[in-house]
Amino acid sequence: MILHKTLWRKSWLESRTRFIGAAALLLLVIGWDILDSEHGMRQFDRIPPIAFTQYVAYLYGSHFQLVWIASVVMLGLGGLVREDRLGTAQFTLTLPFRRRQWILVRTALGLIQASVLALIPVLVIPLAARFVGHSYPAWEALKFSALLWAAGIVFLFGAAFWSSLLSGEFSATAVSGVSALLAFTAQDYLYRWIPSFRFPYFNMSAFLAGYDFLNRTTGLLEGWPWPGIVKSLCAAGMLFWASITIIERRDF
Amino acid sequence: MVIETDRLSKQYRVTFAVRDLDLAVAEGSISAFLGPNGSGKTTTIKMLLGLTHPTSGAGLVFGQPICDDAASVKIRQRTGYVGEDKRLYGYLTVGETLSFVRSVYPAWDRDREQALLRRFDLPLDQKCQKLSKGMRTKLALVLALSRGAELLILDEPSEGLDPGAAEQLLEAVVQAAADGTSVFFSTHQIAEVERVADHVFIMNRGRLVFRSPMEEIRENYRRIHFAFPGRSPTEEMNVDGVFRLRPEGHTLSLVVTGNLESITQRAQSLGAISVDVQPIGLRELFLESVEEGRS
């Protein structure tokens, strides 16, 4: 029944604006950063100047992370609790589908949409690079995109989790944003403020940029952060399980 | 029975929205579900459709347990529902909404859909968010009636409708029942109930306080006023067949469910000097049932 086209159609219709908006945002930011790379690379003021691949690696480790997280958070918003606020949840939930099916399809579509968004840099960076006289291997962009996707699903499922708890459009967005910020910064503060804090350190920003496997001379990735990928998948899985549990127990 | 509940309850913190509800709705019947605002009608309907989880008790629709997730899907497959809110997806047009819901129900009746669309004069190209409440109700009704449902559950379907639209709605409901669909509807419009329903259930403060076939109400329920020379003998008159009993000075007002003759004889043996028997309408019965709960 998860393959029923009605479930997918509804999920697509309700998420398409956010998806297209996120795609446009990514396209704009990446496209601009690459087309403006001469100016961007000059900002580093290095002799010899940094290589284009180093510049791209820098982009993956800087504001591009913020744009990516904002994009996947947008994909995770919405769902049955929002529908409850809008007054359509009764109509949806009296159709002959289980709540779990609605969530599964919405999540699966979110993952597909996140995958498509993650492919935007793979297409745009090598293509735009040619316009400014550089080249960038698509395979390298694909590796970075895999990291974006792996980290992104935590924020996607995080937004879905908050959307299953909070009915307000802005409250779910705001709390998802704050959670994302905490995911990037909380551990640093915990280590600083609580000397006895012993939780294994996991730097989300470094994971997203592939710092542990980045050759800083070439700006290319030389391996895969598997522990980080596994941690991300586990966190996403837990958030997904929590969202389903909350929605299935909720009264509408 | 198409709907059966056994001590079905829903509690929100310390308040019972529905308490120990024993409901039995016969197959093929048009059953009206009455009650003041907040009496538990909508909560009951939501529990029957799996929107809300009961705190305790059990319920069956088509013999399927309402608390079982898989069974609830089967119930909704065979049930048409028009909710209190009647909100539909604002981003779809009327035509798209029809096609959307049609794709879910294999037994969709295209002829009935077309007939209802003609009767209700719905604009197929208009977005649902632009529809008036009356139009939304009509569309919700088309969606509920065309899916080939064996049970129609309507939660205050005529609320906010003009008299013409309400009349169309009633006609559609009666037609559906004539075609073999069981109808269970909540409403505040007692005149509608008297016209179309064959069974009545009245809720008050979460409890079922009255149930009866309409025919029995018409044939057997009566209001009797007895006048006594002295204090009216309240306790002595509380006999079999007395539904409600209210002393008013020297007179005693009774609502009886039958047994008229023996009640009259008893009153006369207790010294009643006058007897006045009148038929009782559903409106009075409703008020009696609800008043009892308040007192």
DSSP string across B232-244? --TGGG--TTEEE
Q: Which residue has the higher pLDDT, A236 or B236?
A: A236
Q: Is 60 exceeded by the pLDDT of residue B188? A: yes
Name residues 151-190 of chain B within 8 A of A (Cβ).
none
Q: Nearest Cβ partner of B87 from A14, A91, A96?
A: A91
**Chain B residues closer than 8 Å to A5 by CB:** 103
**Rounded to whole angstroms, how far apart are CA atoms A237 and A179?**
17
- Write out pLDDT tens, residues B235-251: 888 888 888 888 888 88
Is the predicted pLDDT of residue B294 greater than 80, yes or no? no
Per residue in B14-23, pLDDT (tens digit) is 999 999 999 9
pLDDT at A214: 85
- Residue B218 Cα, gap to closest chain A Cα (Å): 36
CB contact under 8 A, A93 and B49: yes
For residue A219 the two structure tokens come to 């700006």
- CB contacts, 8 Å: B79 with chain A: 94
Best mutation site among A15, A83, A94 for testing chain B: the one with the most B CBs within 10 Å? A94
Which is it for the CA torsion B150, B155, B156, B162, positive or negative? negative
Tell me which residues of chain A have a C-beta less than 8 Å from any C-beta of chain B: 4-6, 9-10, 13-14, 86-91, 93-98, 100, 248-249, 251-252
pLDDT in tens, B127-176: 999 998 888 988 998 999 899 899 999 999 888 788 888 888 888 889 88
Instruction: Kindly provide the ipTM of the predicted complex, given to two decimals.
Output: 0.85
- Per CB-CB distance under 8 Å, the chain A contacts of B73 are 96-98
Q: Does B68 touch chain A (CB under 8 A)?
A: no
For residue B71, the model assigns a pLDDT of 95
Whole-angstrom Cα distance, residue B26 to residue B198?
10
- Would you call B44 an interface residue with chain A, using a CB distance cutoff of 8 Å? no
Tell me how far apart the alpha carbons of residues B132 and A250 are, in angstroms, rounded to a whole number. Answer: 30
A171-to-A17, A67, A175, A242 alpha-carbon distances in Å: 19, 20, 6, 18
With an 8 Å Cβ cutoff, is B67 touching chain A?
Answer: no
CA distance B164 to chain A (A): 25
What pLDDT, on the 0 to 100 scale, is given for residue B45? Answer: 96
pLDDT at A2: 59
At residue A226, what is the residue type? W
From A6, A90, A98, residue closest to B104, measured CB to CB: A6
Confidence of residue B114 (pLDDT cuts 50, 70, 90): very high
Tens digits of per-residue pLDDT, A44-82? 877 677 889 999 999 988 889 999 999 999 999 989 999
The secondary structure element, H or E, covering residue A44 is none
Size of interface A-B (CB pairs under 8 A): 68
The Cα of A174 is separated from the nearest Cα of chain B by a number of Å equal to: 25
pLDDT > 90: percent of chain A: 58
- How close A233 gets to chain B, by Cα (Å)? 28
B251 burial via Cβ count (<10 Å: 0-12, 13-18, 19+): middle
Q: Does B92 touch chain A (CB under 8 A)?
A: yes
Helices then strands, counting H and E runs in chain A, come out as 11, 2
pLDDT value at B295 more than 50 = no
DSSP annotation string for B45-84: HHHHTTSS--SEEEEEETTEETT-HHHHHHHHHTEEEE-S
| DSSP letter assigned to residue B259 | -
- Do the chains contact at A94 and B76, CB–CB below 8 Å? yes
Per-residue pLDDT, A8: 93
Mean pLDDT of chain A: 89
pLDDT tens-place string over residues B6-55: 999 999 989 999 999 999 999 999 999 999 999 999 999 999 999 999 99
CATH of domain B222-279: 3.30.70
Q: What are phi and psi of B120, to 5 degrees?
A: -90, -10
What percent of chain A has a predicted confidence (pLDDT) above 70? 96
The domain defined by B3-214 carries CATH number 3.40.50.300: yes
Instruction: Give the pLDDT band of residue B206 (cuts 50, 70, 90).
Output: very high
pLDDT at A188 over 80: no
Q: Is the pLDDT of residue A184 over 90?
A: no
pLDDT digits (tens, 9 = 90+) for B254-267: 889 888 888 888 88
* CA–CA min distance B77, chain A (Å): 5
| pLDDT average, residue stretch B212-228 | 90
Dihedral sign, Cα of residue B100, residue B101, residue B104, residue B109: negative
CB contact under 8 A, A9 and B100: yes
Chain-chain contact of B85 with A9 (C-beta, under 8 angstroms): no
Mean pLDDT across chain B: 90
Question: A7-21, A92-106, A159-173 — which is least confidently predicted?
Answer: A159-173
B4 has which bridge partners? Answer: B24, B60
Rounded (5°) CA angle B86-B161-B150 = 55
| Nearest by CB: A95 against B53, B76, B91 | B76
Q: What long-range pairs does A125-133 form, CB within 8 A, spacing at least 24?
A: A125/A30, A125/A34, A125/A56, A128/A30, A128/A31, A128/A34, A128/A35, A129/A34, A129/A37, A129/A52, A131/A34, A131/A35, A132/A34, A132/A35, A132/A37, A132/A38
- Flag whether the pTM goes above 0.95: no
Q: Please name the residue that has the structure tokens 């799996």.
A: B50
> If you measure CA to CA, which chain A residue comes closest to B54?
A251
| Distance between B162 CA and the closest CA of chain A, angstroms | 22
Domain locations along chain B: 3-214, 222-279
